[in-house]
Every structure is written in C-alpha cells, then in structure tokens.
Amino acid sequence: MVRAGVVSHPEEWHWSGYDELSGRRQRYRLIDFESLLNCVGMHESSKFIDWYNNTMKDELNNYHARKEFWSSSLAVGSKEWIEGLAVYIPRNKRELSKVNSEVESKAMEAQSTYLLKTSKRNAVSFTRSLK
C-alpha cells in the first residue's frame, strides 16, 4: 500500500504483516515464525527481526518503484525450491531464471535467488492444483 500511496509506512496499514514481521505483535499471530526462519535460513527470530526492520528502513528511505520480477513471476526463491515447483508446469510452458545481482545483493539469503515464470493461464492452473 506504500507504492499505491495509501500509506507512507507499512505500519500504517493494519492489515499487513508488518507488525508481526517487525516483532511488534506477539499475540494472535498469523505468521508461522518458525517456518519463516527455516525458509530464510535463520535460526534466531531476533536476528530476523533486526534484519527486517533495517531492510524496511533502508527500502523506505531509498524507495523505488516495484521491481518487475515480483509482479511477473509465479514464484521467487532458491533454485531448489523453484525447481521443485517447476515440475508441476510443462517444461515448454515455464521459464526459470536467476535474479540479477543488483536485486540479489539486497536479499538476505546466502543462496542465489531464482524466478519461475509462466503464462497467466498456467499460473492459474498451477495455483488451483494446490488446493
């Protein structure tokens, strides 16, 4: 909602995950923090919270338009995770690629970040198959 101009900071949009990810909300949480830490390869929630808060501060101070790959990709993540998802989409209907180094340098993960792209039709079929 920041990019849309509705709020100037994610903390102002009460329906976002900001309060949980920044460590402000401790009760009635929706985010499985243990699984999140596992996904990003961290073991201590305090380190994640520090990283998240610093990243948010940096991103808001150096605000740029939305990065295209977030909008055009079906999934973004490690090579192993993307390859695991890709098996559900016909080989000739998908595209796997590595995120460029400028974007990757901002990522917390030690691994390289990859994208999985497909047509909107295939993306809809894929997401329906997950239900």
Q: How many CB atoms lie within 10 A of CB 93?
A: 15
Answer whether 112's CB lies under 8 Å from 73's CB.
no
Burial label for 125, CB within 10 Å (0-12, 13-18, 19+), is middle
d(CA 20, CA 31): 7
Written as one letter, the residue type at 25 is R
pLDDT digits (tens, 9 = 90+) for 115-128: 778 877 777 776 77
The yes-or-no verdict on residue 11 having pLDDT over 80 is yes
pLDDT score recorded for residue 122: 72
DSSP-derived 3-state class of residue 35: helix
pLDDT score recorded for residue 66: 66
pLDDT digits (tens, 9 = 90+) for 55-110: 888 888 876 666 677 777 878 888 888 888 888 888 788 888 887 655 444 444 44
pTM: 0.52
Tokens representing 12 are 């102002």
Task: Give strand pairing partners of 7.
Answer: none
65 or 25, higher pLDDT: 25
